[in-house]
Amino acid sequence: MNKNLVSVKHLSLILSTLFFTYLCFWPVPISPIAWDAPRNEGFTGKFAPNNILSKVEFIPLNEMSGPEDLAELNNQIFAAVREGWIIKYNPKNGSVTKWVNTKGSPLGIVFDENENLIVADAYRGLLKISPNNEISVLTDSVNNEKILYADDVDITDDGKIIFSDASTKFSAKNGGTYAASLLDITEHGGHGRVLVYDPRSDVTQVLMSGLNFANGIAVSHEYDFFLVAETGSYKIHKYWLKGPKSGSSEIFIENLPGFPDNIVRGKDDRFWIGLVSPRNNILDTLSTYPNLRKVIQRFPEFLRPSAVHYSHVFAIDSEGEVIISLQDPKGAYHTNTGALETKDWLYISSLHAENLARLKKQDLDIQH
């Protein structure tokens, strides 16, 4: 036998052994947990595909990107962007200006009754930005444990601040918010939780735990419950703040066709929710095979499950019924995190886009 041929066979065997060893044994940051993903019904029924979001008007962000969450004050739109800035958009003259940089990673934002902007900053915790631009840290720990991934936020009628800590294992500082979210969702280890901060007592407490990437938060119009998105399980929970069920939670809507992100209280009893991406068939199929999910984590990044460019926001009522679904299968304005409803416009936010988008409510036949 030709010696060169033998050498090639030996080399191929060695390389194959090394590759197999790498796929099976190379350390990865996740320890996947088996779970049974619900059967994906896809874009059917009230989620039947449409192209309404293909008609959005784009608002350039002047070399900034990722308008993760939005808030309105004095007829101006505020957005938290990837570069750490809170920016302001003036609908009257079309200007986009930088306001304050948190020196972190601002995600969820909401104004309190004194016009302070409350920020869930993935790197720094829960922040307050005063009208004169002063930044203070309200809380960055709970039970002597650091908050690793403050995500979304809302405020109750008695001033308590409810916010999500997306993951207690995968810090947003390690590789960024998107990378950390992929790790947490792939592991499915129940590391997410919901916290409440009381400004009067300066105390932070845990309200919910065991969630698979705790994300969007919205207090109800009557302030008697809040909603929280469990992104990694395609569902939204309702947690009762008042009444006979106070302190308990229940499933509000489940088996969504994508990964729910922010939840925003809208007009006329509506809640707006962004589906940042359709569900991933590989993740669903391998939900009961944790070891195979670990193998996939060893693949090059471009071969692992990731967000798909598909545009989708929808609205539900206080009973969890889907009443509006806006989509664009081509994903011209993609990775939608949520929507802010003003008197005349519906503003759409995004995880990765380099602009803001909006639609006229009258064109959508949305009342109020």
Q: How does pLDDT run across 266-278, given as a tens digit for each residue?
A: 999 999 999 999 9
Query: Does the pLDDT value for residue 19 go beyond 60?
Result: no
Is residue 143 domain-resident?
Answer: yes
Write down the pLDDT at residue 25: 57
Could you tell me if residue 15 is inside a domain? no
Q: Identify the residue with better confidence: 25 or 123.
A: 123
> Is 24 within the bounds of a domain?
no
Flag whether pLDDT at 7 surpasses 80. Answer: no
Give the helix, strand, coil percentages of the chain, each rounded to 5: 15, 40, 40
Residues 6+ apart with CB under 8 A from 179: none
247 in a structural domain: yes
Mean pLDDT throughout 42-50? 97
Instruction: Assess contact for 248 and 237: CB atoms under 8 A.
Output: no
Model pLDDT for residues 82-125, shown as the tens digit of each residue: 999 999 999 999 999 999 999 999 999 999 999 999 999 999 99
Tally of domains in the chain: 1
What pLDDT does 20 receive? 53
Rounded (5°) CA angle 269-236-274: 70
Check pLDDT > 60 for residue 201. yes
pLDDT band at 208 (very low <50, low <70, confident <90, very high): very high
76 in any annotated domain: yes
Q: At what angle do helices 290-297 and 177-187 cross, to 10 degrees?
A: 150
In a domain, 233, yes or no: yes
Burial 59-76 (b: 16+ CB within 10 A, else e): bebeebebbbbbbbeeee
Task: Give the pairing of strands 203-211 and 214-219.
Answer: unpaired
Residue 11 domain-assigned (yes or no): no
What pLDDT digit, counting tens, does each position of 233-249 carry?
999 999 999 999 999 99
Helix, coil or strand: residue 12: helix
Per-residue model confidence (pLDDT) at position 91: 96
pLDDT at 23: 64
What is the average pLDDT across 217-231? 98
- Is the pLDDT at 305 greater than 80, yes or no? yes
- Residue 218's domain comprises 47-364
Confidence of residue 144 (pLDDT cuts 50, 70, 90): very high
pLDDT of residue 16: 63
CATH assignment at residue 162: 2.120.10.30
The identity of residue 194, as a single letter, is V
Query: Phi and psi at residue 6, in whole multiples of 5°?
Result: -60, -45
Residue 26, in any domain of the structure: no
